[in-house]
Amino acid sequence: MEQTIQRQTNMNTKLKMIPCSNCGAMMPELRLLKYGYSYCVKCSEAGLGDGRKQGIPILMGEGDHTWVETVIMTDQQYKQYLAQEKAEKELDKTNKAEMLNMDKDDRNLHGPVTIKDPDGEQEKIS
């Protein structure tokens, strides 16, 4: 265990350190070279730099062949997605097709009917 601690200590001293592009704190140059991040871990966790990522589950396929994919997006893209979802929910629904509840007893399912009396007179019922 002592060897592991010594290796970590030696490894930390061998790393070339560069300043973070956001806060100026020192960070390993390897973070920039290998992963392309110019900001430190603290700035990344605080939402600086590229910012926080969000994921949205999307159901794909149909029938027995369905699967869920997760779309990863930036925080800004996620906020735009939420705004669009909210706008769709608040759309004016007056132009949509009318849904009738056919379970109600007071509905006339047959439409206007003309009934003839035995006397031959017609009575129109709506």
pLDDT for 58 beyond 80: yes
Please give the share of the chain, as a percent, with pLDDT higher than 90.
Answer: 28
| Residue 80 CB partners (closer than 8 Å, separation 6+) | none
Higher pLDDT, 124 or 14: 14
Element (H, E) at 58: strand 53-62
**Per-residue model confidence as pLDDT tens digits over 1-24:** 455 555 555 555 678 999 998 888
pLDDT for 115 beyond 50: yes
Closest by Cα among 124, 107, 106 to 115: 124
Question: For position 1, what pLDDT does the model report?
Answer: 46
What span, in angstroms and rounded, lies between the C-alpha atoms of 87 and 102? 31
What span, in angstroms and rounded, lies between the C-alpha atoms of 81 and 74? 11
43 — pLDDT class (breaks 50, 70, 90): confident
Among 32-46, 60-74, 81-95, top mean pLDDT goes to: 60-74
Among 3-7, 12-16, 57-61, 102-106, top mean pLDDT goes to: 57-61
80 — pLDDT class (breaks 50, 70, 90): very high
| Residue 60 CB partners (closer than 8 Å, separation 6+) | 66, 67, 68, 69
